[in-house]
Amino acid sequence: MTLLQVNEVTHAYSSSGFFRRSRAAAEVLSGVSLRIEGGTCLGLLGASGAGKSTLGRVVLGLEQPMKGQVLFQGHDLYALDAKTRRQLRRDFQVVFQDCYSSVNPRMTAEQIIGEPLENYENLSVKEQKRVVGELLERVGLSSGDMGKYPHQFSGGQLQRINIARAIALKPKMIVLDEAVSSLDMVHQTNILHLLNDLRSSFGLSYLFITHDIKAAYTISDALAVMEKGRIAEYCEQKEQFLLSSHPAVKGLLGSMLSEHPRYRSKERMSART
Protein backbone atom coordinates (compact mmCIF):
# COMPACT_ATOMS: atom_id res chain seq x y z
CA MET A 1 0.00 0.00 0.00
CA THR A 2 1.24 3.49 -0.82
CA LEU A 3 2.16 5.32 2.37
CA LEU A 4 3.46 8.56 0.94
CA GLN A 5 2.72 10.15 -2.38
CA VAL A 6 4.29 13.39 -3.53
CA ASN A 7 2.49 14.89 -6.53
CA GLU A 8 4.07 17.55 -8.74
CA VAL A 9 5.62 19.52 -5.89
CA THR A 10 7.21 22.84 -6.80
CA HIS A 11 8.87 25.10 -4.26
CA ALA A 12 11.02 28.20 -3.99
CA TYR A 13 12.23 29.96 -0.85
CA SER A 14 11.11 33.54 -0.79
CA SER A 15 13.93 36.01 -0.42
CA SER A 16 13.38 39.38 1.16
CA GLY A 17 15.71 42.33 1.17
CA PHE A 18 15.74 45.46 3.31
CA PHE A 19 14.48 47.74 0.56
CA ARG A 20 12.30 45.39 -1.38
CA ARG A 21 9.27 43.28 -0.71
CA SER A 22 9.70 39.57 -0.35
CA ARG A 23 9.85 37.87 -3.72
CA ALA A 24 10.02 34.29 -4.95
CA ALA A 25 13.56 33.10 -5.58
CA ALA A 26 14.58 30.44 -8.09
CA GLU A 27 12.76 27.13 -7.85
CA VAL A 28 14.40 24.63 -5.53
CA LEU A 29 11.90 21.88 -6.34
CA SER A 30 10.30 21.66 -9.77
CA GLY A 31 7.40 19.29 -10.33
CA VAL A 32 8.72 16.54 -8.04
CA SER A 33 6.62 13.38 -7.83
CA LEU A 34 7.47 10.21 -5.95
CA ARG A 35 5.93 7.39 -3.98
CA ILE A 36 6.94 5.32 -0.97
CA GLU A 37 5.20 2.02 -0.33
CA GLY A 38 4.53 0.89 3.25
CA GLY A 39 7.50 -0.96 4.78
CA THR A 40 9.95 0.07 2.05
CA CYS A 41 12.90 2.44 1.82
CA LEU A 42 13.39 5.01 -0.91
CA GLY A 43 16.98 6.20 -1.22
CA LEU A 44 17.18 9.81 -2.40
CA LEU A 45 20.55 10.68 -3.90
CA GLY A 46 21.89 13.82 -5.48
CA ALA A 47 24.59 16.46 -5.37
CA SER A 48 24.74 19.16 -2.74
CA GLY A 49 22.03 21.77 -3.30
CA ALA A 50 19.89 19.45 -5.46
CA GLY A 51 16.91 19.98 -3.12
CA LYS A 52 16.94 16.71 -1.13
CA SER A 53 16.58 18.23 2.35
CA THR A 54 13.96 20.67 1.09
CA LEU A 55 11.96 17.74 -0.22
CA GLY A 56 12.47 16.02 3.15
CA ARG A 57 11.07 19.08 4.96
CA VAL A 58 8.11 19.26 2.56
CA VAL A 59 7.36 15.58 3.24
CA LEU A 60 7.56 16.18 7.00
CA GLY A 61 4.99 18.96 6.78
CA LEU A 62 7.57 21.59 7.76
CA GLU A 63 7.81 23.54 4.50
CA GLN A 64 4.60 24.19 2.62
CA PRO A 65 5.28 23.86 -1.10
CA MET A 66 4.11 26.55 -3.51
CA LYS A 67 2.42 23.96 -5.69
CA GLY A 68 1.58 20.27 -5.54
CA GLN A 69 0.39 17.81 -2.95
CA VAL A 70 1.84 15.57 -0.27
CA LEU A 71 -0.47 12.67 0.52
CA PHE A 72 0.28 10.67 3.65
CA GLN A 73 -1.96 7.59 3.81
CA GLY A 74 -4.20 9.42 1.36
CA HIS A 75 -4.47 12.61 3.50
CA ASP A 76 -3.31 15.85 1.93
CA LEU A 77 -0.83 17.01 4.57
CA TYR A 78 -1.19 20.70 3.82
CA ALA A 79 -4.98 20.68 3.63
CA LEU A 80 -5.57 19.20 7.11
CA ASP A 81 -6.82 21.04 10.16
CA ALA A 82 -4.19 21.51 12.89
CA LYS A 83 -5.63 18.77 15.14
CA THR A 84 -5.63 16.07 12.46
CA ARG A 85 -2.19 17.14 11.30
CA ARG A 86 -0.86 16.78 14.86
CA GLN A 87 -2.36 13.28 15.08
CA LEU A 88 -0.79 12.33 11.78
CA ARG A 89 2.50 14.00 12.71
CA ARG A 90 3.34 11.29 15.22
CA ASP A 91 3.41 8.78 12.37
CA PHE A 92 6.43 10.37 10.71
CA GLN A 93 9.67 11.29 12.37
CA VAL A 94 13.08 12.54 11.33
CA VAL A 95 16.74 11.82 12.06
CA PHE A 96 19.32 14.38 10.90
CA GLN A 97 23.01 14.15 10.20
CA ASP A 98 24.27 16.24 13.06
CA CYS A 99 23.44 14.05 16.04
CA TYR A 100 24.86 16.56 18.56
CA SER A 101 22.85 19.58 17.41
CA SER A 102 19.69 17.45 17.17
CA VAL A 103 19.60 17.13 20.95
CA ASN A 104 19.55 19.53 23.85
CA PRO A 105 22.96 19.15 25.56
CA ARG A 106 21.34 19.76 28.96
CA MET A 107 18.92 16.87 28.62
CA THR A 108 19.67 13.29 29.67
CA ALA A 109 19.10 10.37 27.31
CA GLU A 110 15.97 9.60 29.33
CA GLN A 111 14.59 13.11 28.77
CA ILE A 112 15.53 13.15 25.08
CA ILE A 113 13.85 9.84 24.29
CA GLY A 114 10.99 10.58 26.69
CA GLU A 115 10.10 13.92 25.03
CA PRO A 116 7.81 12.56 22.26
CA LEU A 117 6.21 10.19 24.77
CA GLU A 118 5.44 13.13 27.03
CA ASN A 119 3.97 15.05 24.10
CA TYR A 120 1.75 12.28 22.81
CA GLU A 121 1.33 9.50 25.39
CA ASN A 122 -0.03 9.86 28.85
CA LEU A 123 2.24 7.44 30.67
CA SER A 124 3.00 7.33 34.39
CA VAL A 125 6.57 8.28 35.34
CA LYS A 126 7.37 4.62 36.07
CA GLU A 127 5.86 3.37 32.80
CA GLN A 128 7.67 6.02 30.75
CA LYS A 129 10.97 5.03 32.37
CA ARG A 130 10.31 1.40 31.46
CA VAL A 131 9.51 2.31 27.82
CA VAL A 132 12.64 4.50 27.54
CA GLY A 133 14.75 1.64 28.98
CA GLU A 134 13.30 -0.75 26.39
CA LEU A 135 13.98 1.72 23.58
CA LEU A 136 17.59 2.13 24.68
CA GLU A 137 18.05 -1.64 24.65
CA ARG A 138 16.29 -1.85 21.27
CA VAL A 139 18.85 0.45 19.67
CA GLY A 140 21.79 -1.44 21.17
CA LEU A 141 22.44 0.74 24.23
CA SER A 142 21.71 -0.07 27.85
CA SER A 143 18.92 1.13 30.14
CA GLY A 144 21.79 2.09 32.46
CA ASP A 145 22.63 4.88 29.95
CA MET A 146 19.43 6.77 30.82
CA GLY A 147 21.06 9.33 33.08
CA LYS A 148 23.88 10.21 30.68
CA TYR A 149 24.15 13.53 28.82
CA PRO A 150 24.89 13.87 25.06
CA HIS A 151 28.60 14.68 25.59
CA GLN A 152 29.01 11.34 27.36
CA PHE A 153 28.13 9.42 24.18
CA SER A 154 30.10 8.87 20.97
CA GLY A 155 28.59 10.14 17.69
CA GLY A 156 27.39 6.64 16.80
CA GLN A 157 25.83 6.12 20.24
CA LEU A 158 24.14 9.50 20.13
CA GLN A 159 22.70 8.72 16.71
CA ARG A 160 21.22 5.59 18.32
CA ILE A 161 19.58 7.86 20.92
CA ASN A 162 18.15 9.98 18.07
CA ILE A 163 16.84 6.81 16.44
CA ALA A 164 15.33 5.64 19.76
CA ARG A 165 13.55 8.99 20.01
CA ALA A 166 12.35 8.68 16.41
CA ILE A 167 10.83 5.22 16.99
CA ALA A 168 9.40 6.02 20.45
CA LEU A 169 5.90 6.65 19.07
CA LYS A 170 6.06 3.67 16.68
CA PRO A 171 5.82 5.87 13.58
CA LYS A 172 5.07 4.62 10.07
CA MET A 173 7.79 6.59 8.36
CA ILE A 174 11.17 8.12 9.19
CA VAL A 175 12.98 10.70 7.08
CA LEU A 176 16.70 10.02 7.51
CA ASP A 177 18.54 13.09 6.25
CA GLU A 178 22.24 12.17 5.95
CA ALA A 179 21.68 10.22 9.17
CA VAL A 180 24.82 8.10 8.83
CA SER A 181 27.00 10.53 6.87
CA SER A 182 29.03 11.89 9.78
CA LEU A 183 29.83 8.45 11.19
CA ASP A 184 32.92 6.36 10.47
CA MET A 185 32.53 3.23 8.31
CA VAL A 186 32.09 0.84 11.24
CA HIS A 187 29.41 2.93 12.94
CA GLN A 188 27.76 3.58 9.57
CA THR A 189 27.48 -0.14 8.87
CA ASN A 190 26.16 -0.83 12.38
CA ILE A 191 23.53 1.90 12.16
CA LEU A 192 22.44 0.69 8.71
CA HIS A 193 22.00 -2.81 10.18
CA LEU A 194 20.02 -1.36 13.07
CA LEU A 195 17.78 0.62 10.68
CA ASN A 196 17.17 -2.50 8.58
CA ASP A 197 16.36 -4.47 11.67
CA LEU A 198 13.94 -1.82 13.01
CA ARG A 199 12.29 -1.62 9.63
CA SER A 200 11.39 -5.30 9.66
CA SER A 201 10.34 -5.26 13.33
CA PHE A 202 8.07 -2.22 13.06
CA GLY A 203 7.11 -2.30 9.36
CA LEU A 204 8.71 1.16 9.00
CA SER A 205 9.19 3.09 5.76
CA TYR A 206 12.21 5.30 5.21
CA LEU A 207 13.06 8.24 3.02
CA PHE A 208 16.84 7.85 3.13
CA ILE A 209 18.49 11.06 1.96
CA THR A 210 22.20 10.85 1.25
CA HIS A 211 25.17 11.65 -0.97
CA ASP A 212 26.48 8.17 -0.33
CA ILE A 213 25.45 5.72 -3.02
CA LYS A 214 26.86 2.73 -1.13
CA ALA A 215 24.80 3.46 1.98
CA ALA A 216 21.72 4.14 -0.16
CA TYR A 217 22.17 0.93 -2.11
CA THR A 218 22.62 -1.10 1.08
CA ILE A 219 19.41 -0.01 2.72
CA SER A 220 17.01 1.01 -0.07
CA ASP A 221 14.45 -0.90 -2.14
CA ALA A 222 13.96 1.94 -4.64
CA LEU A 223 16.38 4.72 -5.60
CA ALA A 224 15.85 8.23 -6.94
CA VAL A 225 18.39 10.81 -8.01
CA MET A 226 17.67 14.52 -7.75
CA GLU A 227 19.31 17.08 -9.95
CA LYS A 228 18.59 20.80 -9.75
CA GLY A 229 15.24 20.33 -8.04
CA ARG A 230 13.99 17.56 -10.32
CA ILE A 231 13.88 13.79 -10.10
CA ALA A 232 16.42 12.92 -12.77
CA GLU A 233 16.11 9.16 -12.41
CA TYR A 234 13.79 6.88 -10.47
CA CYS A 235 14.33 3.13 -10.16
CA GLU A 236 11.60 1.18 -8.44
CA GLN A 237 14.03 -1.73 -8.05
CA LYS A 238 17.46 -0.60 -6.94
CA GLU A 239 19.10 -3.16 -9.22
CA GLN A 240 17.86 -1.15 -12.23
CA PHE A 241 20.03 1.69 -10.99
CA LEU A 242 23.20 -0.15 -11.94
CA LEU A 243 21.95 -0.41 -15.54
CA SER A 244 20.83 3.21 -15.85
CA SER A 245 22.43 5.25 -18.60
CA HIS A 246 21.43 8.59 -17.05
CA PRO A 247 24.53 10.81 -16.72
CA ALA A 248 23.67 11.68 -13.09
CA VAL A 249 23.60 7.98 -12.18
CA LYS A 250 26.76 7.24 -14.15
CA GLY A 251 28.47 10.08 -12.28
CA LEU A 252 27.43 8.62 -8.93
CA LEU A 253 28.47 5.10 -9.88
CA GLY A 254 31.75 6.41 -11.27
CA SER A 255 32.53 8.17 -7.99
CA MET A 256 31.90 4.91 -6.14
CA LEU A 257 34.18 2.90 -8.41
CA SER A 258 37.00 5.41 -8.22
CA GLU A 259 37.04 4.98 -4.43
CA HIS A 260 37.95 1.34 -4.87
CA PRO A 261 41.75 0.79 -4.77
CA ARG A 262 41.63 -1.52 -7.80
CA TYR A 263 39.93 1.13 -9.92
CA ARG A 264 42.05 3.91 -8.43
CA SER A 265 45.23 2.21 -9.61
CA LYS A 266 43.68 1.64 -13.07
CA GLU A 267 42.77 5.32 -13.22
CA ARG A 268 46.32 6.27 -12.27
CA MET A 269 47.65 4.00 -15.01
CA SER A 270 45.37 5.52 -17.63
CA ALA A 271 46.25 9.02 -16.44
CA ARG A 272 49.95 8.25 -17.02
CA THR A 273 49.40 7.00 -20.56
Ligand X SMILES: Nc1ncnc2c1ncn2[C@@H]1O[C@H](COP(=O)(O)OP(=O)(O)OP(=O)(O)O)[C@@H](O)[C@H]1O
User: At 85, which amino acid appears?
Assistant: R
Does 255 help bind ligand X (rule: CB under 6 A)?
A: no
Rounded Cα–Cα distance for residues 144 and 93 (Å): 25
Q: In what order do the strands lie in the sheet with 173-177?
A: 92-96, 173-177, 205-209, 41-46, 222-227, 230-235
| Contact residue for ligand X among 9, 32, 52, 145 (CB under 6 A) | 52
Applying CB under 5 A, does 97 fall inside the site for Mg ion?
A: no
Rule CB under 6 A: is residue 94 a binding residue for ligand X? no
Site membership for ligand X, residue 54 (CB under 6 A)? yes
Residue 139, binding choice from ligand X, Mg ion, none, Cβ under 5 to 8 Å by partner class: none
Contacts to Mg ion from residues 229-268, by CB under 5 A? none
* CA 194 distance to own-chain centroid: 14
- Beta bridge partner(s), residue 35: 5
Does position 13 interact with ligand X (CB under 6 A)? The reply is yes
> What are the CA-CA distances from residue 47 to residues 77, 89, 112, 170, 173 (Å)?
27, 29, 32, 32, 24
Q: Out of 43, 51, 114, 133, point to the residue binding ligand X (CB under 6 A).
A: 51
**Binding residue for Mg ion, selected from 3, 51, 53, 162, defined by CB under 5 A:** 53
Pairing of strands 92-96, 75-76: unpaired
Q: Which is nearer to ligand X, 73 or 181 (CB)?
A: 181
Applying CB under 5 A, which residues contact Mg ion? 53
Contact positions vs ligand X (CB under 6 A): 13, 28, 46, 48-54, 211
